[in-house]
Amino acid sequence: MKPKVVITHWVHPEVIEFLNQYYEVLPNLTRETLPREEIIRRTRDAEAIMVFMPDHIDADFLDACPKLKIIAAALKGYDNFDIDACTKHGVWFTIVQDLLTIPTAELTIGLLIALSRKILPGDRYIRSGEFRGWRPMFYGTGLNGSTVGIIGMGAVGRAIAKMLQGFDVKIFYCDPVVLSEEESEKLRVSHASFEYVIGNSEFVVPMVPLTPYTKHMLNDKTISKMKAGSFLVNVCRGSVVDEHAVVRALASGHLAGYAADVFEMEDWARADRPREIPKELIENTEQTVFTPHIGSAVDSIRREIAMQAARSIIQVLNGEIPDGAINNPQ
């Protein structure tokens, strides 16, 4: 019998066809997330599984699926997965390193502009039927000539800085790893402390992984140190920002706006994660812009992300060391 491969979420048909050449593939043909119990049922006798952002794999999952050899994640951030448990169970865990960088940076720029230029309130006004031509309304804050603070200068942070160069902005960043003088000059960025970055920027963009250290990095205390009237845009992990602190800062007027593509409710790594977005944020349509975790949702990119995960599966089931591995269970 062919080895069995489970795919937990919808992928392009080409990915299924590619894997079907070698394996028995059990895909999820819907656009919905399957219940965890159903995913375990499908994976009990599988040798490989392709997982996505909503999935959560821990020791209990691995105990129930003893034949697994590889978990191929069609994503870059992996805080929802217990890597130590994978290693102890002899299971490879792979990620896709580079393909998400550019589309995520693009979305960040879009959120910065949409939030500060009041694009969504303007759109709603047009659709209300009340528009009768130009009026002195919806005055926003221009991105051009502003100061942008990036917290974390990894691949996505650098891509954001590069895209921002056309806006003639000043860019400060904080990161334990300081860029070389050559790369700093190329990106036109300056290294500074976390306190300086958040206190001197009209736009603050966290771009860090979710760890115990970065959880609620932007909270009541740190948000209060941001410039009055500044904007916060989160496209990394929901729990990097304390959403209830954002609610309070927007209500007080200290924050002018908040945009996010990620939310605390998504972070399975937190046992205490909330189960919904605060209603005060949902109801605040004048100061917020939200997108449903579409940072990498460029059609061609998502196809290639899944295809790269599929190649990792083939490598492991062929007895090879997979590309994108972040553990070594051998």
Catalytic positions, please?
Answer: 237, 266, 293
| 189/158 Cα distance (integer angstroms) | 9
Tokens for 80, please give them: 């929802």
How many whole angstroms separate alpha carbon 28 and alpha carbon 6? 8
Amino acid sitting at position 160: I
> DSSP secondary-structure letter at 2?
P
Per-residue DSSP letter, 89: T
**Adjacency order of strands within the sheet including 24-26:** 24-26, 4-7, 48-51, 70-73, 92-94
Q: What does the alpha-carbon distance between residue 126 and residue 315 come to, in Å, rounded to a whole number?
A: 53
Q: How far is CA 249 from CA 116, 244, 287, in A?
A: 16, 9, 11
Residue 48, classed as helix, strand or coil, is: strand
Please, is 186 exposed, middle or buried when counting C-beta atoms within 10 Å of its C-beta (0-12, 13-18, 19+)? middle
Determine whether 272 is exposed, middle or buried from the number of CB atoms within 10 Å of its CB (0-12, 13-18, 19+). Answer: exposed
Token readout for 157 is 């942070």
157 sits in which H/E element: helix 155-164
User: What is the C-alpha to C-alpha distance for residues 174 and 200, in angstroms, rounded to an integer?
Assistant: 12
Please say whether the beta carbons of 236 and 211 come within 8 A.
no
Angle at which helices 119-127 and 101-116 cross, to 10°: 60
**Which residue is it, tokens 């002018």?**
256
